[in-house]
Amino acid sequence: MIDKPALLAFCQAFVSAKADSLKLDIKNTQEASNNDTKSSMGDKYETSREMLQQDINRLKQQLAETQKMLFSLQTIKFKPQTLFVDVATIVNTTLGIFFIAASIGAIHCKFN
């Protein structure tokens, strides 16, 4: 039997770490953008700056999605076992064990 609360806590920590990593990436990219000095090649400077801004926007979008996922994980309430697959359900198949909670990909851990 898999310990659902421990599995949920693991998933929350995993997604929280991803959010922290994205925040650091945003900070570092913003610093790189601020440290970019204008050279005599104005167009190249503007292109570089625009690319950095696009990276920041992409990272912010990923962070927003990650924060939504974390919120979703934090609001999970365990229900009595039923025959239906719902949020917080563990599904055993021939391909593996699936925890229906968030789209974080494959994780490898042991829970008893």
Residue 34 lies in a domain: yes
Q: What is the pLDDT of residues 74-93, one digit of tens each?
A: 999 887 777 778 888 888 88
Helix H, strand E, coil C: the string for 53-74 is HHHHHHHHHHHHHHHHHHHHHH
Residue 58 lies in a domain: yes
Residue 112 lies in a domain: no
CB 19 within 8 Å of CB 61 = no
Q: What is the pLDDT of residues 48-77, one digit of tens each?
A: 888 899 999 999 999 999 999 999 999 998
H or E stretch at 44:
helix 42-74
Q: Would the pTM of this model clear 0.85, i.e. be above it?
A: no
Residue 24 has pLDDT above 90, yes or no: yes
For the chain, what is the mean pLDDT?
85
Tell me which residue range forms the domain holding 44.
4-100
pLDDT score, position 41: 54
- Structural domains in the chain (count): 1
What average pLDDT does range 15-25 have in this prediction? 97
